[in-house]
Amino acid sequence: MPKLQGFEFWSRTLGGARHVVAPMVDQSELAWRLLSRRHGAQLCYTPMLHAQVFVRDANYRKENLYGEVCPEDRPLIVQFCANDPEVFVQAALLAQDYCDAIDLNLGCPQMIAKRGHYGAFLQEEWDLLQRMIQRAHEQLSVPVTCKIRVFPEIDKTVRYAQMLEKAGCQGNLHNPALFEGRSPAVWELAEEYLDLVRQHPCPLSCVRAHLFKLWHHTLQVHQQLREELAKAKTLEGVAAEDMSRQEGEEPSGGLPFFHWICQPYFRPGPKEGSKENTGARSKRALEEEEGGADVLSKNKQKKQLRNPHKTFDPSLKPKYAKCDQCGNPKGNRCVFNLCRGCCKKRAFKETADCPGEALAT
C-alpha cells in the first residue's frame, strides 16, 4: 500500500483528528493515552524517546513502545529526539510497525535539549534537518512529521515549515475530559486512570505525577492528602474516599469552580509594583540576611526534623581556608597554602617538596 501524504494522510489515517494529546515526557504513557482517548482525544503521541538509546537498548524499546501495544491506542505517533540522520532513521525503522507516523522533536527549548543538541536548538541547522527528514521520508513506510517552534519573524517560520515539507515532513494533564467539554470531579478521572494503570502498568513516578496534577487544587486545601500521596508505595485508591467528602465545599482562592472539579492551573503573575530584574537577590542570600534558621526552606526544615542534632545555620558551620589557586579548602599542613591536588601539581612542576602534605619530588 503506498504511503499516504499530506491531507490524505490526515483525513484517512488520522481520521481528520482535531483533538490531539501532545507528547509529554514521562506523562503520555499508554494508560494516560487510553484515558484521554476515552474522553474525546482523537490522536495521541508517545512521550519523547531518545533515538540513540532506542537503537541500542532493547529494554528501553520494550518499556516505551513494544510493551505498550494496544488496539485502542491508534492512531499513534512516535516522537524522537535526534541530531544524526543515520541514528534517527534506524530508530524510526524499529518503531514504524507500531505507529502511524514518526515525529522529530524540533520544539523542546529546555536546557537538557541544549546539552543534548536536539529539539529547538537544531532549528538553525537547516541543512542537517533537511538531510534527516529526507532520509527518513525515503526509507520509512510511514509519514514523517515535525514539532517546530515559531520564529519571531513570521516569514522565517513559513520558510522553515516549507523547507521541512519539501524534505518530506507532513504536517490535558489537569482535565483529560477537556475534549468532551466537561469538567468532572477529580477523583472520578483518578479512579478511571488507576484502573487503566492496573491493566497497563507504568512507573510509579508517572502515576504519582499525574495524580498530583489532577488533584493540584485539592492538595492546596487538604495538605494531608499531599503527604499521603508523596509517601505512598502503592496508589491503589489513595485518598479517593477522603476527596469525595469535600464535595460540599465552596470555591476559594480565586478558582472558578470547587477545588475538587477538574480545572486548569494558571501560574500567578507578578505582584503590582514589582520590577523584574531590579534588586534581584538569591534566595540563599536573602535567607542569611533575614535570620538563618527562622527562614529555612521547606527542604531544610524536613532535613532538620530527620536530623535534629545537625546544624543548618551557615554561621555555625566551620570555616575553611581556601586554596590560593582553585578555591577549594586548602590542606591544613600545606606549606604552599594549597589543596592537596594543587600541592601535588606544584611539587611535580617546580621540583619542590611539601613536608606538610608528605609530597616529595
Q: pLDDT tens for residues 278-299?
A: 444 454 444 444 444 456 677 8
Q: Enter the pTM of the model.
A: 0.59
Residue with cell 489515517: 13
Q: Of 142-146, 215-219, 357-361, which range is least confident?
A: 357-361
Q: Of 50-64, 93-107, 284-298, 343-357, which range is least confident?
A: 284-298
Question: Which residues make up the CATH 3.20.20.70 domain(s) of the chain?
Answer: 6-167
- Which CATH architecture is the domain 6-167 placed in? Alpha-Beta Barrel (3.20)
pLDDT value at 300 more than 90: no
Catalytic residue among 44, 81, 99, 108: 108
Q: pLDDT tens for residues 234-245?
A: 655 554 444 544
Q: Is 108 a catalytic residue?
A: yes
Between the alpha carbon of residue 80 and those of residues 21, 146, 160, 233, the distances in Å are 16, 10, 19, 31
pLDDT value at 326 more than 80: yes
Tell me the torsion sign for CA atoms 149, 153, 154, 158. Answer: negative
Interatomic CA distance for residues 205 and 142, integer angstroms? 32
Highest mean pLDDT among 51-55, 105-109, 229-233: 51-55
Determine contact, residues 192/168, Cβ cutoff 8 Å. no
DSSP-based three-state secondary structure for 166: helix
Residue with cell 482535565: 175
